[in-house]
Structures are given as structure tokens and as C-alpha cells.
Amino acid sequence: MSTSSRRVPIESQSVDAPLSSTAVFLVLTVTEVPGAFENVRATLASISDILKNVAFRDLDAALSCTVGIGARVWVEVTRRPLPRELHSFRPVNGAHHSAPSTSGDILLHIRADRRDLCFEFERQVMDRFGGSVRVVDETVGFRYFDVRDLLGFVDGTANPVGPELREATLVGEEDPTCAGGSYIVVQKYTHPLTEWRTLSTEQQEAIIGRTKADNIELDDADSGQKSHKTLATITVDGVEHGILRDNMPFGSPATQEFGTYFIGYSRRLWVIEQMLQRMFIGDPPGLHDRLLDFSTAVTGSTFFAPSAALLDAMSDDPEPAQPATP
């Protein structure tokens, strides 16, 4: 977890990094070139040094980076057993909308209050990766007014805070080799904003489950149609399981691309998967999240963010035994 001390603010893998004014979501796959895995491993082990190198140039900009590693490459890259729940993103196919699964071995979630620091950090990391990775998607997100998404709603209010944040996001004793890490799900959504704007404010508020101007929670309609807020609330045996979201708007008015990059951190992958089931299939099935009538999921991948200690320790691991040559 990141420290509040102004003196040592630079820490990689800070899941709870402060909300930033800009972010980069970089999804990569490991290539087939000889030595690719070795290089990816060495680069990831040096992330905290690269971070220190760039972040120190303006501590107030609070540069942070969280690395996620996907199931396909986890064992080879980390030389550790798979985190208990880690598997690749499982597509969800509802009657009207689908959440596709797209490739992704490595995620870099880079956050800062200065775009140039994100750029410089990403440049240095990509130089180190060289040909060992291929870029699947790079999305640059920005803070929109008072943490609003491009649909105009304040996004992130219900995030856990204080001790609840750690409980909701960091794996504990249930999986000792992965303790201190976090599951991450990312999805890139695009919005047909012109259609969204044909709805009245009241219709939009009913879809989200909060008022637009002052962000007050609303009850669901008597019809049985649940709002996004309600469908994304997971309660089991009376216990509500929260996740940490750090969604960011992205896009370009010039090309008419408008979107939300969803990123969710959780101690329990099944919680995010259950949210997606309830959104895409509906609760009851058939009554899907109406937010999806105005939001199309174009990517979907799952990662595990190891603790900073595990990431750094990768540089000290012994080489694996070479298979004997016949």
C-alpha cells in the first residue's frame, strides 16, 4: 500500500494509488522471440527502479504503476504457482449484449497528475521490453471534471475506503504465496453519446441508480428493472463485497470516439465475475443492465498484480534448471 509520507511516495504496485488526472492502460502480449520471457521477467523486476527514476523528478505528480500478469504467462514469468483464482477472462454472453475476452499477458496501469511523467515512464519501460512484447491496446485516460465519466455521472463514489479498501482488494492468508496482491479485470467500453443524450436526465439517472447533479443514490423502479448500481452490488450471506474501481474516460471528439476504460481491483476474482454476470445476463435473467444499451465492451482481460515484494524478488530468483540435452 502506498504511504502518506511526502518523503517516500514512490512505490510500485500501489493498488490504492491516489486518483490521478491522467492514466495509461497498456495491455501487452509476450512474443515468441527467443529470450522474450527472460526479458519480460527482467523488465518487470526493474519496474520499481524505473518508477523511482521518473517519479522523483516531480513528487507532487504522484506517478504510480501497477503491473498485472495474465494466466497464460504467469508461471513462466514469475516462476511461482498460479494465484488460486487466476484464469483468463471468461466471456459473458447475454441475450442482448456480450463481454468479449481479448488477449493480454501483461497490464501496466500507469497513473500520475502529469501526462509527461506517464509518457516518460512508459517510454523507458517499453525500451526495456523491446521486441519481447507486442502492444494489444494502449488507452490514455483523463480526469473529466469532478471524476465524471463521459455519460456525465460521478464514477467511483462507492469505492471502499480506509481498512475496507485493503480487505476488498488485497489477497490475504487464503493464498499465502500471493498475499498482498490483487486480481485486476479491465474492459474498454465505447459509448454512442448522441443516443445517450436523447434520454432525459431522469431516464439516465434510473439507469445508473444515482442522481446526475448531486450524486444521490436512488431506489430501483417498481418494474423489477435494477439500476447499474444495484446490479453491481454483490452481497453474499449478508456480507457486501466491494471492489476498487479507477475508471477513466478516454476518446476524441474529432474522431467521435467516446469511452470508459473500466478497471477493477479485487481480492476475489469471483466478485467481479459475478458483477459482470448480473450486468450482462441480468437479475432476474433477461433484465440486463441498461447501461449496456449505451456502452459496448470491446476488450476484456484478467490479470493478477503481485505484491511489490514479489515483483522485486523476481530479479533474485535462480535460473530454472535447463532440460537435459539428449
Whichever of 130 and 160 has its CB closer to ligand HEM, that residue is 160
> Does the footprint of ligand HEM cover residue 121 (CB under 6 A)?
no
Of 39, 46, 78, 295, the residue at the interface with ligand HEM (CB under 6 A) is 295
Cross-strand pairs, 266: 183
In sequence order, which ranges of 159-268 are alpha helices (DSSP H)? 163-169, 193-196, 201-208, 228-231
- Least Å distance, CB 11 to ligand HEM, is 25
Count the alpha carbons within 13 Å of 236 in the hemisphere toward its beta carbon. Answer: 7
What is the number of other CB atoms lying within 10 angstroms of the CB of residue 249? 20
Of 18, 91, 156, 180, the residue at the interface with ligand HEM (CB under 6 A) is 156
Whichever of 46 and 260 has its CB closer to ligand HEM, that residue is 260
- Least Å distance, CB 211 to ligand HEM, is 10
> Does the footprint of ligand HEM cover residue 168 (CB under 6 A)?
no
Yes or no: say if 73 and 166 are a contact pair by the CB < 8 Å rule.
no
> Does the footprint of ligand HEM cover residue 272 (CB under 6 A)?
yes
Q: Is 312 a catalytic residue?
A: no
Cross-strand pairs, 260: 189, 249
Compute how many residues bind ligand HEM; rule: CB under 6 A.
Answer: 25
Whichever of 80 and 143 has its CB closer to ligand HEM, that residue is 143
Residue among 204, 92, 226 nearest 149 (CA)? 204
Yes or no: say if 91 and 100 are a contact pair by the CB < 8 Å rule.
yes
251-270 residues in contact with ligand HEM (CB under 6 A) are: 260, 262, 264
> Which residue is it, cell 533474485?
316
Of 89, 153, 183, 280, the residue at the interface with ligand HEM (CB under 6 A) is 153
What secondary structure, in 3-state letters, does 256-317 show?
CEEEEEEEEEECCHHHHHHHHHHHHCCCCCCCCCHHHHHCEECCCEEEEECCHHHHHHHHHC
Q: Name the region of 112 (left: φ>0; alpha: ψ -120 to 50; beta: rest).
A: beta
> Does the footprint of ligand HEM cover residue 281 (CB under 6 A)?
no
210-249 residues in contact with ligand HEM (CB under 6 A) are: 210, 228-229, 232-233, 243, 245
The C-alpha cell that represents 269 in the structure block: 476474482
Whichever of 41 and 290 has its CB closer to ligand HEM, that residue is 290
Tell me which of 105, 155, 289, 312 is the catalytic residue. Answer: 155
* Catalytic residue positions, numbered: 155
Q: Which residues bind ligand HEM (CB under 6 A)?
A: 149, 151, 153-158, 187, 189, 208, 210, 228-229, 232-233, 243, 245, 260, 262, 264, 272, 275-276, 295
